[in-house]
Chain A
């Protein structure tokens, strides 16, 4: 089903008796089972105030349209949303609603926050077909409960978002990256941690064992970037062997492939995403025994490529974090569940919320937790 505006969306949900598969551009294959309900028809930038760093858009607005508008004012989506199409072989058009519904953040998340941290307000249709608004379009807002955070990362299971307002940030003058060569994973995580603990505002910290590279990004004014790269070099001298500097173009190219997990594009096997404490990362990749991995977020995010049908969670055992299936066949997804199982208390609260927001069980049922 394709709806053209919020009113049609609300009517469609109110009339629905069977589950709906809620989606934006369906570029990630994350929507649940049911009759497809796309918000791609709700499109357009409603309001953009560059001087207030805020934008309001309809949920189905293509991300590219937003990025083009921002670029014309020298601003950007600072949380650097991942484009999953290459990794997943998807062909759709990523939408703003999809980005926020899945809380999709890229490498800069460690410096500026996740998509959810930038979302200021949302309008959504709940499971009864009612239109609900929460938050607004100002940067500080503690008026009532923060349902905006709850909607971000709810994968359409609590409601269908129709309009979103979010914070944007200025584009930077330039960037550069420092590449540390030949570090083992334990040293790489220590080096990334040392860089993140320095005052030099590292905005990306990744480790690619296949390339034998650990890469640190700094962004800002030209003189500032040069200064901070030099300072980082000095800070890490004792830890690293060979170090090279990636200038703006090379740095930009590297981080866009890193952001989109290009290393796993066109490969076989399942792809998992593990969020963990950075210092736990080396032990976790050893336990995983994966075919390949790439680290981001200074070790706090690990992309793992596993043999098809492997139970990564069983291999990892208990740890502070969670493992999510990003790419696998439907049988594997069904067997293990896309999302990490939760503790009983959290699972009960989450189920309680779903029952309140979506009493008929319409929205992507079973996606975030087993049905029933």
Chain B
């Protein structure tokens, strides 16, 4: 993965930039010692690392505004950072950049149960948003698997999803308003406590823009009443295709489960060895969870199991208690860890139409042979959001490159069958150069024109999302017309 060469003029001005940042921030909020900036050299895409020139940790929207105004006037690129859990390299620095971390901004500003919303500073972690309201019977729905660590800022930047999207949607469906600081330091309020924009839907545009349009410092999020209960059923099949058909039949039947998770044999074997969840050894395993009162759950699960029986499952295990539910989820929740025990892995998140599931899994299996790398699949089947985990050895020369090439082929296949490159992780640097697979140069030009409006000088997270050759002119010159 190539990154643009750092601008030597910017690096030469480091002392002045640091001095100016120190004039608006406390001394412990400006990190410029080379030993300390290393802490910000990567996010969860650890294969790529580069310490930033400076990292700053502002505590208020005002401080963020001061930082951006200074960086804007100095022509310094800024890479916003939530908790650094991006799997796509969304927060990967360049050597000439200022990392703007929102980790110190984690207050709850307002909880409003009457209107079912919470307003937080965006450095707050996803799970602690729910933590702030759960004692009162509410929760924040989007639940990316990194939810213990990931920040709302990053969730908004990447439009994060999670396992329960089938029912509750992703970040953009649960975001009501933001306070956003523009690259020139201007503070803009978009949306609020009400529903739907009065004019153009800028909120929908900002969500998922990967920190390239502005730095979101506060967010108003929709919170929901917790369901009375939830219980899963586990089903095993001896054929991926049959499992895929079962998913489709469940959806068509009018039951809307809150989650439908899928694991294939390599993943089942790995998690069994690691977590001993008592999963059946079979080709495909589904975990289908429904919500409601006990009687409502019983009814929905009986409908789902009736559908499953028509597909001759090798195992059908209905949870009757919290303990049994935990056991069913245990393997799924430890799947990533289990694969990590075997080797390094790369996790992709291409999304496909559910109808293509069997064909795509078959092709991934064939490609695994061709590339000589093992792959396990564990994913959100209800919405077609795949998670192939490709195993490789980071210490073996050439393995990472082979893994990336394999990953690229899988993502191309996802696009070919009518899907997309990324369903919830974002493009970052990881999928940046594959964007032409999904979009034409003209399609990308229109997207880049949006950035021209919000960040004419192209200083915010500039080397992400768009293929480097597509954004080169803009990054080099800023927008000359301004």
Chain A interface (Cβ < 8 Å from any Cβ of B): 49-54, 73-74, 103, 105, 109-110, 113-114, 116-117, 126, 130-134, 136-150, 152-154, 157-158, 169-173, 190, 193, 196-199, 220-221, 223-224, 227, 275-279, 297, 300-301, 320-322, 324, 339-340, 342-343, 345-347, 349-350, 352-357, 368-369
Contact = CB atoms under 8 A, between A and B. Distances in A.
Contacts of A110: 195
Given A170-B251, A342-B199, A349-B454, A199 B228 contact: yes
A144 B444 contact: yes
A326 B373 CA distance: 60
A143 B421 contact: yes
A286 to B, nearest CB: 18
A114 B174 CA distance: 11
A172 B296 CA distance: 14
A131 B423 CA distance: 24
B207 A353 contact: no
B252 A50 contact: yes
Interface string B369-402: 0000000000010011100000000000000000
A278 B227 CA distance: 22
A74 B254 CA distance: 8
B205 interface: yes
A307 B199 CA distance: 25
Contact of A349 (B113, B453, B465): B453
A140 B165 contact: yes
Contacts of A139: 165-166, 351, 383-385
Interface in B89-115: 112-115
A279 B116 CA distance: 10
A368 B202 CA distance: 14
Interface of B: 112-116, 137-138, 158-159, 161, 165-166, 169-170, 172-173, 182, 186-190, 192-205, 207-209, 225-228, 247-249, 251-256, 292-293, 295-296, 299-300, 351-355, 380, 383-385, 418-427, 431, 435, 438-440, 442-444, 446-447, 449-454, 465
A65 B355 CA distance: 24
B362 to A, nearest CB: 18
A274 to B, nearest CB: 9
Given A223-B295, A345-B187, 15 more contacts: A116-B196, A132-B446, A136-B438, A138-B353, A139-B166, A142-B427, A149-B204, A152-B201, A196-B225, A227-B296, A277-B193, A300-B194, A322-B198, A353-B200, A356-B452
A350 B200 contact: yes
Contacts, number: 269
Contacts of B187: 345
B225 A199 contact: yes
Given A138-B420, A322-B194, A322-B198, A145 B447 contact: yes
Contacts of A193: 113-116
A353 B452 CA distance: 9
A169 B167 CA distance: 10
Nearest to B435: A144
B205 A150 contact: yes
B207 A146 contact: yes
A133 B248 CA distance: 27
A277 B201 contact: no
27 contacts: A49-B355, A51-B355, A110-B195, A139-B385, A140-B161, A140-B383, A140-B385, A141-B422, A141-B423, A143-B422, A144-B427, A146-B205, A146-B208, A147-B446, A153-B201, A170-B252, A170-B253, A170-B254, A227-B295, A276-B194, A279-B114, A349-B202, A349-B453, A352-B454, A353-B450, A356-B453, A368-B200
B194 to A, nearest CB: 4
A171 B203 CA distance: 30
Contact of B418 (A136, A297, A353): A136
Contacts of A114: 195-196
B195 A109 contact: yes
A340 B446 CA distance: 27
Contact of A320 (B158, B182, B193, B447): B193
Contacts of A343: 188-189
B384 A349 contact: no
Contacts of A368: 199-200
B414 to A, nearest CB: 9
Given A150-B201, A340-B198, A368-B200, A142 B355 contact: no
